[in-house]
Chains A and B, each alone.
Chain A
Amino acid sequence: MMARLLKSREALLAGAIALLLALVSWRFPGFVAPENLARIFNDTAILIILALGQTAVILTRCIDLSMAANLALCGMVAAMLNAAAPGIPVGALLALAILTGAALGAINGALVWQLGIPPIVVTLGTLTIYRGLIFVLSGGEWVNAHQMSEPFKDFARAELLGLPVLSWIAFLVVAAMAVLMTRAPLGRAFYAVGGNPTAAIYAGIDVGRTRFAAFTLAGAIAGLSGYLWVSRYAVAYVDIAAGFELDIIAACVIGGISIAGGIGSVGGAVLGALFLGLIKNALPVVNVSPFWQLAISGTAIIIAVVANARAEGRARRIILRKAEVLA
């Protein structure tokens, strides 16, 4: 029953995306040209990757507000190392960014796991700390395109079989996360812990350790995205991706990931991110000021939250249901 409801959510979202595409292409046929769709996908790739990391965390009934700050810090570390020592191969920098991100995520996870501090407080704190560390590290200086080596900048933009590497990485992450979430014990543990922590304990799942794993995974994904972001835009400074943490959560919520944990799918998160990316790219085409984007995604979030609440089935409580809502 739950699976059917979830499926309908993804179908609904896919329908909304198709409708949006149809509406825009009715007036501007060029919008649905394959190369333009590929461009939009590439533009949304980083959001998709990040939303999948956040999905793991939200599934365990936690939240990570520090992902964008983590991304910016890892991006800055990679960029500064590249500027200082252009000889270091891109692969090593990529690995370093992922490890740094994982370490920062592990700090979040350890504070939640070992000290039992609520995740929203922990990541609110580390959000400002990580963002501040970028300033300490860089002294407020920018790392500009001319300071970066060519391979460093080309990595995300290089084309492979007609698509940029960035898009391929997004595909890879989506596939890996889909396998993890549906086939691996850890992925199933994410669902178990978020769905019912007490039952998870009786099932032999270590709740704290699972949450620690989710935060570390989200951190590694933020680190990967950090390198991709800096490589794609060829610039690193203190404020890159500032406020992006809310876009990531918005993508998850629109994708049907329940903030109460335990409900959601990789497909939903991907569609949620694509929906936001599509709006962002469609607005200039239909000649609407880009200033409308924020209000539209806000409305989309509110509608999605209402839809999520209905899908979560509040039917469980029978007594006094009416008193819970405003009389």
Chain B
Amino acid sequence: MSSAKRTPMVIPDRLESRFAAGLKSWEMLLIAVALAVFAVNALASPHFLNPWNLSDATFNFTEKAMIAMAMALLIIAGEIDLSVAAIIALASTAMGLALQFGADTPVLVLTGLATGLLCGAFNGLLVSGFALPSIVVTIGTMSLFRGIAYIILGDQAFTGYPSEFAYFGQGYAWWVFSFELALFAAIALAFGILLHATSFGRLVYAIGNNPTGALFSGIRVARVKFILFLLTGLMSGIAAICLTSRLGSTRPSIALGWELEVVTMVVLGGVSILGGSGSILGVVIAAFIMGMVTFGFGLVNVPGIVMSIFIGLLLIAVIAAPILWRRLRGEGFA
């Protein structure tokens, strides 16, 4: 799905510094957008700066942002997983099913994690085991996973989760900081280290930049991709636990359409959809931007669907802006 380039590829002589500079400027742009959103919100509504309100605001992105961490690695490696929301539905359904058999909170959590891992393994096996394009595979598994949830639940819902279970989605770790936010911070840190400070992270970039080159360098491309799908499944399982706990119920339509929001978050965060570049910091900032926009618009009574227009425009504008800027400065044509 890459666009054809008419000009011959330019090989820069100082790759590292230019790369770093490019990344830095992208994150600066994101921070500027985040600050602008924050300032506009604070001016538009007197309730915005209340710490408890801000804490509430984090709930509408933490679960998606957890998945976005793993999705970022997957997209950097040149793959994509559109089944994440369906994994949430299936994991939540599995937990509800376990509940019917009298499972207590630890078993519920294990069920959620195991379902997420299994779904991730299934995706990974199809993509790296059979060398299939991940975009269509995960469109298929997306229907399959949510389909199984529909077969089990139909138009029913699972409710009656134990009160200890509510902590994951409704509890607070310290003062206004929710358990979900703390968990997200820990996950973001872990993924930041994994991507930017380990050899595994370098493999992810190498595969995304040139899969064939990576293969010839002796990287086990298939195995790395499999692990990335496993991680994405695991994160979806964790998100399923948090969301189920927060809502206190499971319906097969739970988290419908989240896959697009997660991908938007990742791309907005500066991860190239073609693979090979991006950073965890960018995705974290993008998650906060999306959360603040949604919350701020909510405070001034803008309906959710109008916010989605803004998110869509933001997605295209943030990608188009650097291209237009480069063109204006006459640095060649894309």
Chains A and B bind each other:
yes
- Chain A, residues 127-147, CB within 8 Å of chain B (1/0): the string is 111011101100010000000
What 1/0 flags go to A233-268 for Cβ under 8 Å of B? 000001000010010011001000001110000000
- Contact partner of B130 (CB less than 8 A), chosen from A65, A296, A325, is A325
Closest to B140 in A: A301
In the assembled complex, the CB of B304 is this many whole angstroms from the nearest CB of chain A, namely: 9
Report chain A residues within 8 Å CB of B4.
193, 197-198, 200-201, 207-208
A136 touches B309 (CB 8 A): yes
Most buried by B among A128, A238, A259: A128
The listed residue (B131, B215, B273, B312) touching A120 by CB distance below 8 A is B273
B222 proximal to A (CB < 8 A): yes
Contact of A291 among B140, B151, B220 (CB under 8 A): B151
List B residues 294-334 near A (Cβ within 8 Å): 303, 305-306, 308-309, 311-313, 315-316, 319-320, 323-324, 334
CB-contact partner of B150 in A238, A291, A306, under 8 A: A291
Return the CB mask of B8-51 against A: 1 if under 8 Å, else 0: 00000000000000000000000000000000000000000000
Q: A201-B6, A295-B144 are in contact. Are A128 and B306 (CB under 8 A)?
A: no
A120:B323 contact, CB within 8 angstroms: no
Q: How far is the CA of A211 from the CA of B133 in the complex (A)?
A: 21
Q: What's the Cα separation between A304 and B264 when bound, in Å?
A: 28
- A198–B8 Cα gap in the complex (Å)? 11
Stretch in A5-13, A17-25, A109-117, A178-186 touching the partner: A109-117
From residue B121, how far is it (CB to closest CB) to chain A in Å? 11
Give the number of chain B interface residues (Cβ < 8 Å).
Answer: 62
Residues of chain A lying within 8 A (CB to CB) of residue B303: 135, 140
- Which of A135, A238, A305, A314 interacts with B137 by CB under 8 Å? A305
Contact B226 A136 (CB under 8 A): no
Interface residues of B (CB under 8 A from A): 1-4, 6, 125-126, 128-133, 135-137, 139-148, 150-151, 153-155, 215-216, 220-223, 226, 252, 256-257, 260, 263-264, 267, 273-274, 303, 305-306, 308-309, 311-313, 315-316, 319-320, 323-324, 334
